[in-house]
Structure 1
Amino acid sequence: MIVVSAASGAFGRLVVDRLLEGGAAGRVVAAVRRPEKAVDLAARGVTVRHGDYDDPATLRTAFAGADRLLLISSPELDTARRTAQHRAAVDAARAAGVGSLVYTSFLGADTRAEGLTAAHHATERALAASGLPHTVLRHPFYTEAFVHPGLRDAVAAGELADGTAGRGLNTALRGDLAEAAARVLTEDAHLGRAYDFTGNLWDHHELAEALSRVCGRPVVRRNRADRAPGARGWLEEQVRAGALERQTDDLRHVLGRPPTSLDAAVAALLGHPRPGSPDARPAGPGTS
């Protein structure tokens, strides 16, 4: 039995999709905070259980009988609360006798214990101390944070404003990361490993070229000096500092293929596939 926590979220649903596509129907359990939000999963043959990160008793019940558990990190932004939620989940997994646990961490969490990585760092330490067999999947930022339908405005204007100073990004699509998680959950070669996932390195000049190719209209990159509002401004600061340029082959290794190309990501996320192009869709299981 494979239990996926937070299975009604965007990433959790993708993992469930990949598991079902891979033939795991009848063996998948979705642990969710609000079961009424997962009736569509139940209709597909997925067992739905109540599992709330803030209620450890529900977690023990949700995780019961799991050969493998995917612990998807909480969306909680407060570090102390998020850390407490994760520790409660690890304790519940141990109490429930879970066979092995797969945890979605963040790049750098093995060495940095501040900021975004603080709760992940604490969770990785808790896992190491728990005695539970486990695998750690350290994620990069999602490509969807930078490549999204809002870029249609840039296509219409013929200009892509860029506040990253042209530095590289190692982002990955949720779909690729979900497929990797499904493989780790269903294959035996990953136990005890810690993977640092990165996608293909790209920059906004390449993004402008991809937008031009995929959408069939010329788009040029323009430097933007002013700071973008909110979270986008913070993200761009990280990129300008080179914090998203680290590269590994871990995602390619687990997927057994290259991560989805930038052109394919643009086509999928903007809904502009190039007619007849084999690269105009995100690569799924068994594709290259």
Structure 2
Amino acid sequence: MSAASGALGRLVISRLRTRAEVVAVVRDPARAPEGVAVRRGDYDDPASLRAAFDGVDRLLLIASPELDTARRIKQHLAAVSAAEEAGVGAVVFTSFLGAGTVATGLTEAYHATEQAILAGGRPYTLLRHPFYSDAFVPQVSGGEITSSTGGRGLNTAFRSDLAEAAANVLTGEGHLGRAYDFTGPLWTYPEVAQAIGVTYREVPDAGPGPMSWLSAQVRAGALEQQSPDLARVLGRPAKTVAAHLLDQRKLGAQG
């Protein structure tokens, strides 16, 4: 598993420990998760990736956190080439929704990587992720929830559910040669406010920035795509944002 020291990688490893032999490939071995075999593999060092991927049956290729698109594409293509040269049995790649057909903006690096994996001819599974719910969980302040989303839906999913789905794909059968569009249950900020018993108020965008851009995408309906793939791979419904907040409140009350 590449990028194994990141948040998603650690969650996947926690779900694989009792199900398979795991090798964590990390840039800095000092930051590797405990309890698994560790190999050094740096997206900017192709030779290290070839050595790290040697003998791997199924590789979970977790997307690089690099923000520069050109550099990210270079890193991903180096990893795909290293997997081919090392004779990896199958590649499972954490892609992004829309990457199968769109090659601009957020999807550009993912699209290029998917195309390289397909061209390489090795067995594969593509896991197209939505945005993480973890980044969108609303904060209750003054007895209310606010947002600038216009009451439109979000198809986000929690990182923990996406990690479990990846573990199921890595250890299960029937997933090779498939591309999954992972989406969580559609939710809105007003619905979440109602579910936890607080009021909702729409507010103007705070100004230029990532969250302002994302809110505009939500208002335009760009995050309302739905697919049954995540629930099918999990074997259960994905967790909702409302359920997450209610669980937090229960834990707070018990504490």
Give the TM-score category using the shorter length. over 0.9
d(CA) in 2 for partners of 1:229 and 1:161?
18
Contact 1:33-1:52 within 8 A present in 2 as well = yes
**Matched letter for residue 27 of structure 2:** R
How many pairs were matched up? 254
Deviation at 1:274, TM superposition (A): 6.3
Letter in 1 for 2:200: R
After superposition, the Cα gap between the structure-2 partners of 1:221 and 1:77, relative to the gap in structure 1 and judged at 3 Å, is same
Q: Which residue of 2 aligns with 1:246?
A: 225
Aligned to 2:25: 31
Q: Structure 1 counterpart of 2:212, which letter?
A: G
Indicate conservation of the 8 Å contact 1:68/1:100, yes or no: yes
Are 1:119 and 2:109 an aligned pair? yes
- In the alignment, which residue of structure 1 is the partner of 2:130? 140
Alpha carbons 2:89, 2:123 under 8 Å: kept: yes
Equivalent residues of 2:91, 2:122 under 8 A apart: yes
1:8 has 2:2 as partner: no
Normalised by the length of structure 1, the TM-score is 0.85
Match of 1:225 in 2: 204
Give, in angstroms, the shift of residue 211 of structure 1: 3.6
User: Is contact 2:133-2:241 (8 Å) kept?
Assistant: no
1:257 aligns with 2:221: no
1:94-109 to structure 2, matched below 5 A, reads 94-109=84-99
| 1:212-245 C-alpha deviation (Å, 9 max, x unpaired) | 3xxxxxx211111234552111110110110000
The SS at the match of 2:249 is: coil
Deviations 1:45-98 (A, max 9, x none): x00110100000110111111000000000111111100100000000001010
**CA drift at 1:264:** 2.5
Distance 2:117 2:37 in 1: 26
Alignment partners' CA distance in 2, 1:133 and 1:261 = 32
Whether 1:187 aligns to 2:193 is: no
Task: Write the mapping of 1:34-113 to structure 2, written as runs, cut at 5 A.
Answer: 34-38=28-32, 41-42=33-34, 44=35, 46-113=36-103
- The answer to whether the 8 Å contact 2:137/2:241 transfers is no
Whether the aligned pair in 2 keeps the contact of 1:210 and 1:266 (CA below 8 Å) is: no
* TM-score normalised over the length of structure 2: 0.95
How far does the alpha carbon of each residue in 1:253-277 deviate from its partner, in whole angstroms, 9 at most, with x for none? 1001111133322245xx322699x
In structure 2, distance between residues paired with 1:273 and 1:106: 33
Equivalent position of 1:172 in the other structure: 157
Which ranges in structure 2 are unaligned for 5 or more consecutive residues? Answer: none
Is 1:142–1:173's contact at 8 Å kept on the other side of the alignment? yes
Give the conservation status (yes or no) of the 8 Å contact 2:93–2:125.
yes
Paired AA for residue 83 in structure 1: I
Distance in 1, matches of 2:43 and 2:66, equals: 10
Give the Cα–Cα distance (whole angstroms) in 2 for the partners of residues 100 and 114 of structure 1: 27
Q: Distance in 2 between matches of 1:84 and 1:37?
A: 24
Query: Counterparts of 2:250 and 2:43 in 1: how far apart (Å)?
Result: 39
Which amino acid in 2 is paired with 1:194? A
**Secondary structure of 1:54 counterpart:** coil
Aligned partners of 1:163 and 1:228 also within 8 Å:
no
Separation (CA, whole Å) in 2 of partners of 1:96 and 1:226: 48
